[in-house]
Structure 1
């Protein structure tokens, strides 16, 4: 056979093998592609490829469990910015106006580009780069403001009770977002982490467990130790929906120097274990306390939780409860004992990402926190006796409104209303219970020993 013909045959064989390798072997993939082709060819209206792709991904992920999801590119970016505690922008939080169209600044971020340029809370944004914001959606407004770091954007605002507008040029930058709040703002906008009416108690409200959260808490504890002796610590995890597993582990390490923090178990996750088609849970990882990062392992610690405390919040609460390091105050937590991994699809997540449940976590006692239809009464993290304190919707709303007022950075000379000046200690019965625990611990520790 001529050499040229033999070369052609070999090229054909190699091409066939490569094509076979690249074609999905799952028969359902081929059927799916056939269905897409039918839709594109015969559906009454034209449908964009990305629309079919995104709806297919949403449907597939929703069929798995309530916490697995397909994240569209914009959603994935926002999630990553939140967990990484930084984003590119001008540094403001915005809200739609209540009674009419338009948007107002809830608050500028402390020392961010907008704050430095003079943006104030309650400013109404009326133009961006001389383009009116009237009839814009929040998403459209965000797209108008965002842009490359280092480049400027012109924001036109109207101050409350003023007919005049003000143009401010703001240079976009990387804005860092702290996840730990204190009791109230000081005059300089920084947080004061001592309770106003109980200044010997350190108060930290942790909004989410992001990449910098443990470092924030460590810095606060060191600063408060330098400031003076404190009798107790209150960590508020209400409305904290979770975050990074490693961040929760790092926070636990700040308060205990030995013992188990959490165990993570999942299908096919055990080291060197063969693949399994069953739902048997193998031990994937056990996180043990590391005393090299412990800062305070003895000061009375109360953790306040409610039904919106989930995932990483429950890891921290369960760990410190099982290791007898903290007393849990408030209400039973949400019961989300599953671990999700974010998996990008395509280069730099150009097609979004999967948020996929890969494991469940178990508290040091061995119990599974996760709430399922078959779950026993042990799901979630229960408050310790006698510190279960229920709050009504009205009480929660009053608490959240008060916390929002404390979050806002007001301009110098702003006069607070009587309602804005209310302290959490006056209206928050769960916080009151946590303070009561600290007081009891202090009395018990100072009581003389009698024999």
Structure 2
């Protein structure tokens, strides 16, 4: 394999070192004589200057921090503080306009004053809202017969003109929350207690914000103006990032983010308790967390993501209960309480696994080998230490393929769904197991140099029928592997369009370039330096990989994927590498597989059920308007539960064609994998 450099260029050591004198009051984030107002620490201005210098000089985009980006930074920072337009007034937003074209100049000059001036206004508005809720709304007995609605997503709504409009907005918000509690069986006193505790905790969390938190929010807005994968990490966030990368955290194995007032599951990590239980899924919303089998469910609506994570995390072997709004029934559906046992995500849980799936179809018996690959992993420490038995994706898959072939498989399925990537070197080497040799991926650096990652081993461990399963959450290295298999016509790609992340980042420890005393600590900058391209020259950015056979998808690219991110680098194309396609998959074969699949769409009840389930999930994800009428809300909940109960179970269903009777059968609980296996069997039959 030809190696590709993805590490930070050493020229960064040329950045000048800066020495600071310590100001104890400033380093505590306090103004002299003030115990509440947050102000920047003494060295934040120089840290901001350093970040601006690095972004201007080394970011892949090769643009300067200018007036245009200043405008983006301002909007991003405001959205970060008030993403649902529930605190700031229109007059506040207008007062911030003085910073519209000044943030670039101020940052380069070492001033982060906009961060703290805007935050001070936010904090005042926040305190007003908490007083309004706790002093007024918790005592209101709402009329649930009125036909009115609350929109959970106000990101595109106009800013409120005055306190009266904000009060009305918050009245509807609290009414929606109290109605949910009422429908879950709480009486008026219970509702009042829950809402009071909810906002007291929320208020306490914001009151605990430190100057470091404000600086991180602001500098992250500066970094993300260049692209969504360039980020600033405070020292505390840096430590958490390192823990996540080393998989040392004990918890449920899910990646979360804040969406409006909810904590949303954006990824269920392979090998974790959530994935193993099959109780928590992408796009579920977590609204409550309880400790142990009997602990009180703590309401977490409106909480900071860090605080929710702290409640969910815990020692291995302990129990946590989550109250969730399942994605399939949405914000209008009923909540559910699930129980998970915390655990560590072990390396062996992330490793490739194999099974043989028997299939009887059209009177023929098939053995389909399925290898599930959660990530592209490699034990770098063992490799560098010269351990001949170091763990790697390619080594594991090679061994599993040999074991499957020994069992006489007719075809091989590589399942890369929800595989968020990992080692680029492993993606290249894994591709090499299925092609003779040649380029696998092209990488363009920020200096426009093209590097080619090649498989230089002519050996092939498997040359039989091959299919790759992908979905919207297959990203990065997964996309490199799937794209290469598709471009070489080596196998058929089945599923959904992938995420579309075609960029490479490196981490810069800013403290190495700032001389700070023992009481001062700088953060880290995650910087986009390179971009991926397929061997054909097409970038995987935005487009990702489009499957040869598209299965039903509930996730639009503009909502879920790289295209949903503001400021994402554009798709583009470079010159194709020289490579030789195989004759394993022809355009004619792809057309035939799609024809057969489309016919089944009209005749197979299980497949029609999958299409309907997908449509309902897509509709549920798009709904943001909630009725505040009790009878209507009850009806919506009943309909959601009815749809869920009446779904066609695809577990163990039979595939039947006229005249075949019991000849055709397949037992797979996973409906997408089931369809993939059927399509692969059609491919095997086509080959003969």
TM range (shorter): 0.5 to 0.7
| 1:301 and 2:466 correspond | yes
Conserved in 1, the CA contact under 8 Å of 2:359 and 2:368? no
| 1:267 and 2:446 correspond | yes
Output aligned runs, 1:164-243, within 5 Å: 175-176=346-347, 178-179=349-350, 192-195=355-358, 200-211=367-378, 212-226=392-406, 228-243=407-422
Kindly tell me: are residues 18 and 341 of structure 1, through their superposed partners in 2, closer, same or farther at Cα, counting changes over 3 Å? closer
Deviation at 1:77, TM superposition (A): 6.5
Q: Which has the higher strand share?
A: 1
Listed one character per residue, the Cα deviations across residues 213-252 of structure 1 (whole Å, up to 9, x for unaligned) are: 43442332233234x1222111233444433322312321
Task: Find the counterpart in structure 2 of residue 436 from structure 1.
Answer: 682
CA-atom RMSD in angstroms: 5.5
| 1:317 and 2:482 correspond | yes
Output aligned runs, 1:28-427, within 5 Å: 28=105, 33-36=110-113, 39=116, 43=120, 48-70=210-232, 86-89=247-250, 126-128=290-292, 132-135=296-299, 140=307, 143=310, 146=313, 155=319, 175-176=346-347, 178-179=349-350, 192-195=355-358, 200-211=367-378, 212-226=392-406, 228-268=407-447, 281-283=448-450, 285-291=451-457, 296-330=461-495, 332-344=497-509, 346=511, 353-371=524-542, 375=572, 385-386=590-591, 387=593, 395=610, 398=613, 419-422=650-653, 423=668
Conserved in 1, the CA contact under 8 Å of 2:223 and 2:232? yes
Higher relative contact order (CA 8 A, sep 6+): 2
Listed one character per residue, the Cα deviations across residues 40-76 of structure 1 (whole Å, up to 9, x for unaligned) are: 7995669732123112222112211243334567876
Identify unmatched segments of 5+ residues in structure 1.
1-16, 96-100, 102-106, 159-167, 183-190, 269-280, 402-416, 444-451
Identify unmatched segments of 5+ residues in structure 2.
1-16, 21-42, 54-103, 125-208, 257-261, 263-267, 281-287, 323-339, 379-391, 513-520, 543-568, 577-584, 602-606, 617-647, 654-667
Question: In structure 1, what is the Cα distance between the partners aligned to 2:670 and 2:118?
Answer: 65
TM-score by length of 2: 0.41
Question: In structure 2, what is the Cα distance between the partners aligned to 1:336 and 1:383?
Answer: 27
Conserved in 2, the CA contact under 8 Å of 1:218 and 1:295? no
Listed one character per residue, the Cα deviations across residues 244-282 of structure 1 (whole Å, up to 9, x for unaligned) are: 3223123213323411111211123xxxxxxxxxxxx21
Deviation at 1:301, TM superposition (A): 1.2
Question: In structure 1, what is the Cα distance between the partners aligned to 2:119 and 2:321?
Answer: 50
Question: In structure 2, what is the Cα distance between the partners aligned to 1:157 and 1:369?
Answer: 39
Q: How many residues align?
A: 360
Question: In structure 2, what is the Cα distance between the partners aligned to 1:18 and 1:352?
Answer: 15
Deviation at 1:320, TM superposition (A): 2.1
Deviation at 1:135, TM superposition (A): 3.2
Conserved in 2, the CA contact under 8 Å of 1:214 and 1:251? yes
Question: In structure 2, what is the Cα distance between the partners aligned to 1:141 and 1:135?
Answer: 10
Kindly tell me: are residues 357 and 177 of structure 1, through their superposed partners in 2, closer, same or farther at Cα, counting changes over 3 Å? farther
Conserved in 1, the CA contact under 8 Å of 2:505 and 2:530? yes
SS in 1 for 2:111: helix
Kindly tell me: are residues 30 and 172 of structure 1, through their superposed partners in 2, closer, same or farther at Cα, counting changes over 3 Å? closer
Conserved in 2, the CA contact under 8 Å of 1:108 and 1:120? no
Deviation at 1:438, TM superposition (A): 2.7
Question: In structure 2, what is the Cα distance between the partners aligned to 1:267 and 1:93?
Answer: 33
Deviation at 1:141, TM superposition (A): 6.6
Question: In structure 1, what is the Cα distance between the partners aligned to 2:320 and 2:435?
Answer: 51
Question: In structure 2, what is the Cα distance between the partners aligned to 1:108 and 1:288?
Answer: 29
Task: Find the counterpart in structure 2 of residue 186 from structure 1.
Answer: none
Deviates more, 1:390-399 or 1:338-347: 390-399
Question: In structure 2, what is the Cα distance between the partners aligned to 1:89 and 1:290?
Answer: 40
Kindly tell me: are residues 89 and 239 of structure 1, through their superposed partners in 2, closer, same or farther at Cα, counting changes over 3 Å? closer
Question: In structure 2, what is the Cα distance between the partners aligned to 1:289 and 1:222?
Answer: 20
Task: Find the counterpart in structure 1 of residue 642 from structure 2.
Answer: none
Conserved in 1, the CA contact under 8 Å of 2:413 and 2:466? yes
Deviation at 1:362, TM superposition (A): 2.1
Question: In structure 1, what is the Cα distance between the partners aligned to 2:254 and 2:358?
Answer: 26
Question: In structure 2, what is the Cα distance between the partners aligned to 1:332 and 1:64?
Answer: 25
Question: In structure 1, what is the Cα distance between the partners aligned to 2:608 and 2:414?
Answer: 22
Deviation at 1:436, TM superposition (A): 1.3
